């Protein structure tokens, strides 16, 4: 299966936003390892965070309540150790702060789907389940979202995410590829399922579910800009263009494809906003049906969000449904990781977790299944 995408990929090196002369941005590969960068200390990060808040436009200030542990979500070399568990679990309660509440909204599908792809550089990403893919440089977007100028904030803080402001959805994170590879290996069935790509960023997980025949696919990202400029275009880019089915010289049967494409894409819905707000929004729908499958990659880096994430699973997952979660063992700078999250889930005693796979590269990564402990 080949994807079309309009953004760049996290490689084994950390990426860094680099401005071009015309204000356009690209992602660039940094030779400085993420580990050494994070070792430069939290103090500097914290200073950054304070400066960041001071620097924010008024409409952003209310979003910053959870900022405190700002840092690159840098993966450990191999932190699958008791040391990191002991270190991080001791202050779990203290860390369980409420994340900021960025209001959720649904993003309507634009009438002219082709227009969404205008000014986008689309590249084919063959065999995205191959984790050896090198870092790709792709021309990005120009800033045009007042109040959500996350690109320049990410740029100025030299960080891949800024808690409460930008949660990292502008790039494709490594564990997405692990989960994609797993889908193929384990022959995960999507047909007829209602699927949520939670913290979708590029949306490749949801797009795969879509291609696999899912009945309905919802994409959620913290940032509005990510949905509009990355997720939505990626979904659209993975569909035959309307022209393909709109040729008047074609026999009538083939022309019908236009409406088929429209029908297909209507299976997708797009949401931005903080998780508890998203739950409120979607859960308030009169006919809301819970998800059969929640796909989520690299969303457990921040322990401050565990409570909300757990609540989200609780509120949105069908009793017999499952969550497929991909994560690095540990995230320096922000402090979360697989062991800490599993410990949190165990303590809540609602779900059980099962390791599906451990990817023991230079960076240890995990694929976890989460299901209700008592499904009936
Ligand atoms: C590191 S990015 C991973 C993006 C994508 N899943 C991937 O693997 O490439 C984390 C994603 O989780 C989402 N996220 C993190 N914390 C969130 C929160 N408190 N509320 C809503 N979304 C959140 C953001 O939308 C962000 O895109």
- CB within 6 Å of ligand 1 — which residues? 99, 161, 167-169, 172-173, 175-176, 199-202, 221-222, 274-275, 297-299, 305, 308
Residue 302 has pLDDT above 90, yes or no: yes
Q: Where are the beta strands (DSSP E) in the chain?
A: 2-5, 15-19, 25-29, 74-75, 105-107, 123-126, 194-198, 216-221, 268-272, 291-297, 317-328, 331-332, 351-360, 364-372
Residue 95 has pLDDT above 50, yes or no: no
**pLDDT score of 318:** 98
Residue 32 has pLDDT above 90, yes or no: no
The confidence band for 314, taking pLDDT boundaries of 50, 70 and 90, is very high
Pairwise CA distance, residues 236 & 150, whole Å: 23
Q: Single out the residue of 244, 270, 250 nearest to residue 104, CA to CA.
A: 270
Pairwise CA distance, residues 49 & 71, whole Å: 9
Residue 105 has pLDDT above 50, yes or no: yes
Atom of ligand 1 nearest to the CA of 100: 19
Confirm if 257 and 244 have CB atoms less than 8 A apart.
yes
Residue 176 has pLDDT above 60, yes or no: yes
Report how far ligand 1's centroid is from the alpha carbon of 143 (Å): 20
Q: Pull the structure tokens for residue 292.
A: 């059969």
Pairwise CA distance, residues 101 & 163, whole Å: 12
Across 213-234, average pLDDT: 93
Pairwise CA distance, residues 251 & 45, whole Å: 62
Report how far ligand 1's centroid is from the alpha carbon of 288 (Å): 23
Pairwise CA distance, residues 151 & 252, whole Å: 46
Report how far ligand 1's centroid is from the alpha carbon of 256 (Å): 37
Residue 72: count of CB within 10 angstroms of its CB: 24
Report how far ligand 1's centroid is from the alpha carbon of 165 (Å): 11
- The 3-state DSSP class for residue 175 equals helix
**pLDDT score of 264:** 86
Atom of ligand 1 nearest to the CA of 161: 1
Q: 98, 169, 328: which to mutate for ligand 1, most atoms within 8 A of CB?
A: 169
Beta bridge partners of 175: none
Q: What pTM did the predictor assign?
A: 0.74
Residue 60: count of CB within 10 angstroms of its CB: 20
The confidence band for 251, taking pLDDT boundaries of 50, 70 and 90, is low
CB burial of residue 371 (10 Å; 0-12, 13-18, 19+): middle
**pLDDT score of 119:** 73
User: Per-residue pLDDT tens for 260-285?
Assistant: 777 788 999 999 999 999 999 999 99
Across 103-111, average pLDDT: 94
Report how far ligand 1's centroid is from the alpha carbon of 198 (Å): 7
Closest CA to ligand 1's atom 11: 199
Residue 76 has pLDDT above 50, yes or no: no
- Cα-based distances in Å from 288 to 162, 189, 272, 279, 315: 32, 22, 18, 11, 11
- What domains are defined for the chain? 99-119+171-372 (3.40.50.150)
Closest CA to ligand 1's atom 18: 274
Q: What's the gap between Cα 6 and its chain centre?
A: 15
Report how far ligand 1's centroid is from the alpha carbon of 259 (Å): 32
Report how far ligand 1's centroid is from the alpha carbon of 74 (Å): 15
**pLDDT score of 158:** 64
Q: 222, 310, 331, 363: which to mutate for ligand 1, most atoms within 8 A of CB?
A: 222
Report how far ligand 1's centroid is from the alpha carbon of 298 (Å): 7
The confidence band for 249, taking pLDDT boundaries of 50, 70 and 90, is low
The confidence band for 39, taking pLDDT boundaries of 50, 70 and 90, is very low
Atom of ligand 1 nearest to the CA of 173: 9
Instruction: State what percent of residues in the chain have pLDDT above 90.
Output: 43
Phi/psi of residue 155, each to 5°? -65, -50
Across 28-54, average pLDDT: 34
Across 78-97, average pLDDT: 36
Cα dihedral angle (61, 64, 70, 74), rounded to 10 degrees? -110
Atom of ligand 1 nearest to the CA of 301: 1
């Amino acid at each position: 299966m080949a994807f079309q995408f309009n953004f760049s990929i996290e490689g084994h090196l950390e990426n860094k936003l680099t401005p071009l002369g015309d204000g356009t941005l690209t992602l660039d590969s940094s030779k400085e390892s993420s580990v050494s960068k994070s070792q430069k200390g939290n103090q500097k990060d914290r200073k950054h965070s304070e400066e960041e808040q001071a620097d924010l436009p008024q409409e952003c200030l209310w979003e910053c309540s959870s900022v405190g542990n700002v840092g690159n979500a840098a993966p450990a070399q191999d932190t699958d150790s008791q040391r990191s568990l002991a270190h991080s679990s001791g202050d779990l309660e203290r860390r369980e702060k409420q994340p900021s509440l960025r209001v959720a909204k649904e993003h309507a599908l634009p009438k002219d789907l082709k227009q969404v792809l205008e000014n986008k550089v689309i590249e084919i990403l063959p065999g995205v389940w191959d984790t050896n893919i090198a870092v790709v440089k792709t021309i990005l977007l120009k800033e045009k979202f007042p109040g959500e100028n996350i690109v320049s904030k990410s740029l100025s803080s030299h960080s891949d995410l800024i808690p409460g402001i930008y949660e990292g959805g502008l790039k494709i994170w490594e564990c997405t590829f692990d989960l994609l590879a797993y889908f193929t290996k384990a022959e995960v069935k999507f047909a007829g399922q209602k699927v949520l790509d939670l913290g979708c960023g590029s949306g490749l997980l949801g797009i795969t579910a879509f291609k696999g025949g899912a009945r309905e696919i919802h994409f959620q990202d913290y940032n509005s800009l990510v949905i509009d400029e990355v997720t939505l275009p990626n979904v659209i880019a993975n569909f035959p263009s309307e022209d393909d089915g709109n040729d008047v010289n074609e026999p009538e049967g083939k022309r019908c494809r236009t409406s088929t494409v429209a029908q297909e894409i209507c299976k997708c819905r797009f949401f931005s906003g903080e998780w508890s707000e998203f739950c409120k929004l979607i859960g308030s729908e009169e006919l809301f049906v819970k998800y059969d499958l929640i796909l989520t990659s690299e969303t457990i880096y921040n322990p401050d969000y565990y409570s909300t994430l757990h609540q989200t699973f609780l509120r949105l997952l069908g009793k017999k449904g499952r969550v497929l979660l991909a994560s690095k063992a540990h995230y320096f700078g922000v402090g979360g990781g697989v062991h800490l999250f599993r410990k949190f889930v165990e303590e809540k005693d609602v779900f059980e977790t099962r390791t599906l796979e451990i990817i023991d590269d230079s960076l240890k990564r995990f694929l976890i299944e989460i299901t209700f402990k008592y499904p009936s």
